[in-house]
Amino acid sequence: MSTLFKRGAVFLSGVLLASAACAQAFPNKPVTLLVPYPAGGLSDVIARTVNAPLGRALGQPVIVENLGGASGGIAAQKVLNAPSDGYMLFQGSPNELILAPLALSSVKYKSEDFRQIHRIALAPMAIIARGDIPANNADELVAYAMKVAKEGKPMTYASVGVGSLYHLLGEQMSKMIGVPMLHIPYKGFADGLKDLMGNQVDIFITPYGAPQVALAKDKKIKFIAATSPGAHPLLPQLGRTSDSKSALKNFTSEIGTGYFVKRDTPEPIVQAMHKGLQAVLGDAEYLSRMAALGQLASPLQTLDVANKAFVDETTQYRAIAKAINLQAQ
């Protein structure tokens, strides 16, 4: 056996042994689950529904950390600045990983810097409005938007930041209706919802969830329409934009929440985290709590399927950004 061959064999065996040791050792300390928005919003609630069963599956505590700002870009960059050791898990969506880099010149990463391990939930989207807005469905909302635009007072819409999905959906809605709308960005969902309840902003296109349902029952806000493309089990009574006779007939959207690590995280660690997340999706308490939140738990995904889903989302949302001529600010 040549010396070169021996050295190659020793190196390869060392890599394999290191990978095996890495898989066996991970995790040996608490894992941080980073949420890119302040506490109190839907993203935060989802994380605090996931962390306990994920901690049980991994055998280590999973600690939720909230870090808002830059449409989720500050938190995403913190993940990239951390070691590629799996101890910082990012709860993300197209908002932070695909759209923020397109909308904010301060965000320097790209979606390809991250790897999706597993989608955890899929939420239908809905248009919600201040409680006293003179509209109760998509057709009436279009009429209202046209009326106030003609009066020189454009309809306002909230988002969780410049370049977020909700910002793009507002721009897309404005383009479809054919009138200007005024974007009001917030650091997180809870802040935008607070101003909606206070009649400081007209509408908010958000994931459908239990908090909004409770507020609508108290008449603090109102539901205008769901934006899911088809019938949705969580929204049997809510009218859809796709049923509209107005310009919003083709205005449809849903949003998924997934768990991400840095692209170069070692495969054994990725596999260990993937196994833990699959255990969460089989946890009866988790499934019950997600249903109560108005979220659909994700079906089980292989790592390849999870990765392809994220690649496909990247293509889809970059196309939307291009269609509305989104410019980095």
Q: The domain spanning residue 207 has which CATH number?
A: 3.40.190.10
Q: Is residue 151 part of a domain?
A: yes
Work out the percent of the chain whose per-residue pLDDT is above 70.
91
Asked which of 223, 253, 283 is the last residue of a domain, the reply is 253
Q: What is the pLDDT of residue 16?
A: 46
| pLDDT-wise least confident of 10-19, 43-52, 68-77, 118-127 | 10-19
Q: Where are the alpha helices (DSSP H) in the chain?
A: 3-25, 42-58, 73-81, 94, 100-103, 138-150, 165-177, 189-197, 210-217, 267-280, 284-292, 303-323
Domain boundary among 228, 253, 278: 253
Q: Does some domain include residue 207?
A: yes
Structure tokens at 206: 């958000």
Computed over every residue of the chain, the mean pLDDT equals 89
pLDDT at 15 over 50: no
**Confidence band (pLDDT; 50, 70, 90) for 321?**
confident
The percentage of the chain sitting over the pLDDT mark of 90, rounded to a whole number, equals: 64
What is the total count of domains within the chain? 2
Cα–Cα distance measured from residue 37 to residue 15, given in angstroms and rounded to the nearest whole number:
38
Paired tokens of 106:
């301060």
**Domain final residue pick, 253, 271, 287:** 253
pLDDT at 17: 47
Determine how many CB atoms are found less than 10 A away from the CB of residue 215. 18
pLDDT at residue 258 is higher than 70: yes
- Looking at the predicted structure, is the pLDDT value of residue 41 above 70? yes
Across the range 27-48, mean pLDDT stands at: 94
Domain that holds residue 151: 124-253
Q: What are phi and psi of 182, to 5 degrees?
A: -100, 125
pLDDT at position 294 is: 77
> 20 lies in a domain?
no
* Band of residue 237 on the pLDDT scale cut at 50, 70, 90: confident
Mean pLDDT check: name the lowest of 27-31, 168-172, 269-273.
Answer: 168-172
Q: Enumerate the H helices of 33-136 as residue ranges.
A: 42-58, 73-81, 94, 100-103
Whether 11 is in a domain gets the answer no
The contacts of residue 134 (CB under 8 Å, 6+ apart) are 140, 144
pLDDT for the residue 65: 98
5, part of any domain: no
* 279 and 176 belong to one structural domain: no
Mean per-residue pLDDT, 294-322? 91
At 236 the pLDDT is 62
pLDDT at residue 133 above 70? yes
- Contact predicate 294/123, CB 8 Å: yes
Mean pLDDT of 255-280: 97
Same domain, 179 and 189: yes
Same domain assignment for residues 234 and 129: yes
Q: Mean of the pLDDT values across residues 76-100?
A: 95
Q: Look at residue 2 in the predicted model and tell me its pLDDT.
A: 54
Supply the pLDDT for residue 304: 97
Query: Distance (Å, rounded) from C-alpha 164 to C-alpha 272?
Result: 31
- In this structure, are 161 and 218 located in the same domain? yes
Size of the chain, expressed as the number of residues it contains: 329
Single out the residue of 162, 136, 309 nearest to residue 216, CA to CA. 136
Same-domain status, 259 and 249: no
Please check whether residues 138 and 231 belong to one and the same domain. yes
Q: Which long-range contacts (CB under 8 A, 24 or more apart) does 23-27 make?
A: 23/268, 23/269, 23/271, 23/272, 26/85, 26/86, 26/268, 26/269, 26/272, 27/58, 27/59, 27/60, 27/86, 27/87, 27/272
Task: Flag whether pLDDT at 23 surpasses 70.
Answer: no
What does the alpha-carbon distance between residue 181 and residue 179 come to, in Å, rounded to a whole number?
Answer: 7
Same domain, residue pair 142 and 244? yes
User: Is 130 among the domain residues?
Assistant: yes
**According to the model, what pLDDT value does residue 95 have?**
85
Between 152 and 212, the more confident residue is 152
Residues 259 and 248 in one domain: no
Please indicate, yes or no, whether residues 63 and 99 belong to a single structural domain of this protein: yes
* Residues facing residue 35 across a β-bridge: 66
In tens, the pLDDT along 47-74 reads 999 999 999 999 999 999 999 988 899 9
